[in-house]
């Protein structure tokens, strides 16, 4: 077994080795100050700079307009399922939702507790094997927004182009943020748990349009208001310091590579290698429809559940970790986020071909 295995897990995902090495040093002695990063006061000038730098890098890499605030919050992306309608809806208000998988379903459930979620489209009947194309759905004219999940980790689907609507877009971009470029103009809120493409678990990046900060109903508690955190620079209470710091390191790594445009090309190349292998044979069968395929999470099946178990077990023995598909659909899932090395995909493809030769 190699010293460093390939982490195909859907999250927490692979981080760049140089980021891990720097974090390991700074967690003991940050910038040679004789104190570890996770011991420092979050209100010290050193950590305030860490946070500001991370925010600036996220803004630069995603080309976030000046009229958006960048927040580092806690509670995971799941907390945003409730915070979005708490801040943007209220009693009697409606939000429209595209139901393309587990995380969209959970968001719809939370929205219905707070206000009303109108499901404009659902791909549940087909096993969430696709996302809708423009024209497949009609948004309720009374809706405040159109909510969607850009990339569905469990099912291996992605909106390859962002939905179009005359309503502002709200997006859970947890599993493909920083992996591709997009225009912020139609968006009101974009959020993402950090633990797939941005850093370790512990913080959620929320990018919210400034004019929405004053929309929150008076009944929403202080901690659950976006404005509370925007006004305090994400320092209303003690933030997830280590996670924010590591997001900053990952952003520096990505900027050095050439930014989001550069990593988008790499991601497409990695995904194409895997999908080409799947498409070249009847032994492997992809779950997602071709026009909805995700470059982040490649999901597929083998002829029998027994062969799938054997494939996962043999792969693990060779250093391919985390290939087991989600329990809801089974099969195999290879998550190949930004920091996942191209060589890992090359080696997986070689293993897939050899496994088929022996068992096909």
**How is the chain split into domains, by residue range?**
18-256, 259-359
Low-confidence residues in the chain, pLDDT < 70: 1-2
Strand ranges inside 58-140, DSSP E: 68-73, 94-99, 116-122
Q: Yes or no: is domain 18-256 CATH 3.40.50.620?
A: no
Structure tokens at 294: 């995700």
Contact in structure between 193 and 76 (CB atoms under 8 Å): yes
**Angle CA 182–191–333, to nearest 5:** 80
Cβ neighbours around 344 below 10 Å, total: 20
Answer yes or no: 109 catalytic. no
Q: Specify the pLDDT at position 328.
A: 82
Answer yes or no: 103 catalytic. yes
Q: Specify the pLDDT at position 2.
A: 59
Q: Specify the pLDDT at position 182.
A: 96
Out of 172, 227, 253, 270, which one is annotated catalytic?
Answer: 172
Out of 26, 69, 93, 103, which one is annotated catalytic?
Answer: 103
What whole-number distance in Å separates Cα of residue 168 and Cα of residue 190? 11
Q: Specify the pLDDT at position 90.
A: 78
User: Residues 20-38, buried b or exposed e (16+ Cβ, 10 A)?
Assistant: bebbeebeeebeeeeeebe
Q: Same CATH topology for 18-256 and 259-359?
A: no
Q: Specify the pLDDT at position 92.
A: 85
Q: Which CATH number fits domain 259-359: 3.40.50.20, 3.20.20.70, 3.90.1150.10, 3.40.50.720?
A: 3.90.1150.10
Out of 196, 227, 270, 324, which one is annotated catalytic?
Answer: 196
What whole-number distance in Å separates Cα of residue 40 and Cα of residue 116? 43
Residue 134: DSSP 8-state: T
The residues, any chain, with a CB within 8 Å of residue 151's CB and separated by 6 or more, are 157, 158, 159, 173, 174, 175, 176, 294, 296, 297
Structure tokens at 39: 């011991």
Cβ neighbours around 267 below 10 Å, total: 23
Q: Specify the pLDDT at position 91.
A: 79
């Amino acid at each position: 077994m190699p010293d460093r295995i390939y982490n195909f897990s859907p999250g927490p995902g692979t981080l760049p080795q140089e980021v891990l090495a720097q974090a390991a040093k700074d967690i003991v002695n940050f910038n040679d100050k004789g104190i570890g990063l996770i011991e420092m006061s979050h209100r010290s000038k050193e950590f305030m700079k860490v946070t500001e730098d991370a925010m600036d890098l996220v803004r630069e890499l995603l080309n976030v307009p000046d009229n958006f605030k960048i927040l580092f919050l806690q509670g995971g992306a799941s907390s945003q399922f409730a915070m979005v309608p708490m801040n943007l809806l209220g009693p009697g208000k409606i939000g429209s939702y595209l139901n393309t998988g587990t995380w969209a379903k959970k968001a719809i459930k939370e929205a219905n507790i707070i206000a009303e979620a109108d499901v404009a489209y659902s791909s549940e009947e087909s096993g969430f094997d696709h996302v809708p194309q423009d024209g497949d759905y009609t948004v309720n004219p009374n809706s405040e927004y159109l909510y969607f999940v850009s990339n569905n980790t469990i099912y291996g689907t992605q909106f390859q182009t962002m939905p179009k609507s005359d309503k502002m877009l709200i997006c859970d971009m947890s599993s493909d943020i920083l992996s591709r470029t997009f225009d912020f103009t139609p968006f009101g809120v974009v959020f993402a748990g950090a633990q797939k493409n941005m850093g370790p678990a512990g913080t959620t990046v929320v990018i919210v349009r400034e004019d929405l900060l004053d929309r929150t109903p008076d009944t929403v508690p202080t901690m659950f208001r976006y404005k509370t955190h925007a006004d305090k620079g994400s320092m209303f209470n003690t933030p997830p310091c280590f996670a924010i710091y590591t997001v900053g390191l990952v952003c520096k790594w990505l900027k050095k590579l050439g930014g989001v445009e550069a990593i988008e090309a790499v991601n497409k190349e990695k995904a194409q290698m895997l999908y080409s292998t799947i498409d070249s044979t009847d032994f492997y069968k992809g779950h997602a429809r071709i026009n909805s395929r995700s470059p982040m999470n490649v999901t597929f099946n083998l002829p029998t559940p027994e062969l799938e178990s054997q494939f996962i077990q043999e792969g693990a023995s060779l250093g391919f970790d985390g290939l087991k598909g989600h329990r809801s659909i089974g099969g195999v899932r290879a998550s190949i986020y930004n920091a996942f090395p191209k060589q890992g995909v090359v080696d997986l493809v070689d293993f897939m071909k050899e496994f088929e030769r022996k068992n096909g």
